[in-house]
Homo-oligomer: A and B are copies of this chain.
Amino acid sequence: MSTSPTPAFTATPVSFTEAELDRITYNADGLVGAIVQDATDGAVLMFAWMNAESLRRTLETGRTWFWSRSRQEFWCKGETSGDRQYVRAVHYDCDGDALLVTVDQEGAGACHTGNRSCFFRAFGADS
């Protein structure tokens, strides 16, 4: 009998067309901003950058792939931390220059600090 824990979520590819991909516009660095939102309760979890290849990987694998500007490499969210994101939908905005990625968030959350959301600090909290 296996002792491996049963994964809570399953990676499911998101269908797309090349015409849809062509509607995305990238900045001078070849990047588009991606907002990641929790499918369960609508919490905004994080904001990161994708290039054309990481967007395609995200759609094809059903996991979130970003481009690290500091490390200049692809990263698949949660591969190190275990806090993986399973993509349920990807929307793009009216200008095609921002993405909204709806996910099931595995583990403790999206933030490297241990907080569920990276947006855990509010203006006025110090007042």
Contact = CB atoms under 8 A, between A and B. Distances in A.
A8 interface: no
A126 interface: yes
Interface residues on A, range: 35 or more
28 contacts: A14-B123, A14-B124, A15-B123, A15-B127, A16-B123, A16-B124, A16-B127, A17-B126, A19-B126, A20-B121, A20-B123, A20-B125, A33-B47, A35-B44, A35-B47, A41-B42, A44-B44, A44-B100, A46-B93, A47-B98, A89-B122, A90-B122, A91-B119, A91-B123, A92-B121, A92-B123, A94-B112, A100-B119
Interface string A9-34: 00000111101100100000000010
